[in-house]
Copies of this chain bind each other. A is one copy, B any other.
Amino acid sequence: MTNNKPVTIKDVAKHLGIAFSTVSRALHGKPYVSAELRARVEAAAAELGYVPNAGARMLHKPYGSSIGLVIPDFPNQLFATAAQIFATRFAQEGLNLMLGVSGDDPETELRQVMALREARVAGIAIATCGRSLDRTVELLRSIPTVDLADRSVNLQFPTVTLDDEQSLLLATTHLLQLGHRTIAYIGGESALGTGQRRLAGFNAAMASYGVEPLPRLIQQGPLTVDFARMATIRLMNAAVRPTGLVVANSLQTEGAVDAIASLGLRLPDDLSLLGYGDASWFKLYGKGITTIDTRTVDLANAGVDILLERMTAFEQGRSHDENPIRYTLQCNLIQRGSTGVPPS
């Protein structure tokens, strides 16, 4: 016997012969309601199958009880982890997660953010597409926001990010220490903040060993398996063959592995490969892939913390900071079998 029309607070009141405002109070544990009545109200509500209407409740507040998460895509480990952790942790706070997928497209991204605004989310966590429209940024300014991974250059939002530069410093230095000097780099374009900073880390490491990086060995492009596959093949077929390869993105690492396999190269005998991220299979592949632990779980959790802090700040009138917080996570090197001394 499924009711058709949803049960309202008024139905419950009528059923009990009391005022509907009393029902509201009772259900919210407000003071000045006799324990006896409260019990009866709760019983009646349960019996009739009353479900509060979040929309109606929201009319009295500046925002509702959900938060938004906007990510470019799911294959990227970080974003899947973020979705999982945001959903779980905010659920514990009684907040729902509205998920927007931008597909790395600025227009779609704007549409998602607009939708979240209409839904009156209490806060937004976003991993931008890196080329966000002005209107998007403007909208985000009116809501507690945390920027995940700081992919855009110059955004001035509270940010939780890897120490991108350090990550590649660590990775590249590892290869240099093993004796590599002809080291190739595959990463994202410098239009992305992440791409820019990671390349800087690579260059810094090379510089500190007095090695001049060869422009031909630096491949920047889309964060896709395909791009990295092609780039790797290009690199390994060129006149100057690198003995080491650092990859600065998890999906690109997959592409590099694929290419290396199809070229029949052995790790680390023919090439030392240093990956990015902690995909579950890295430890299973061959002798294991040496990689940078990007601490996706820590990053997502920090994002939740900061967003919660921002939300309280907003509530208390302290709105956007001129000098927004930047939470930067240090990466770790996970040493496995894909790196070794260069072939002699």
**Chain A residues within CB distance 8 Å of chain B:** 2-3, 5-6, 51-59, 62, 64, 66, 73-75, 80-81, 83-84, 87-88, 91, 96-101, 103, 108, 111-112, 114-120, 141-142, 225, 254, 257-258, 261, 279-281, 284-285, 319-320
A120 touching B254, Cβ below 8 Å: no
> Contact check: which of B53, B142, B254 meets A118 at CB < 8 Å?
B53
**Chain B hits for A99, CB < 8 A:** 83, 87, 97-99
Are B141 and A2 in contact (CB-based, < 8 A)? yes
Given A55-B59, A87-B100, output 13 extra A-B contacts at Cβ < 8 Å.
A2-B320, A6-B62, A53-B118, A54-B119, A56-B59, A59-B59, A74-B80, A87-B101, A91-B101, A96-B119, A97-B98, A254-B284, A258-B284
- CB < 8 Å neighbour of A56 from B55, B73, B103, B320: B55
Q: Which secondary structure dominates where chain A touches chain B?
A: mixed
Docked Cα-Cα span, A82 to B61, in Å, equals 33
Residues of B within 8 A of A75 (CB): 280
| A84 contacts across to B, CB distance below 8 A | 73-74, 101
Shortest Cβ gap from A114 to chain B (Å): 8
Given contacts A6-B62, A98-B96, contact A118 B51 (CB under 8 A): yes
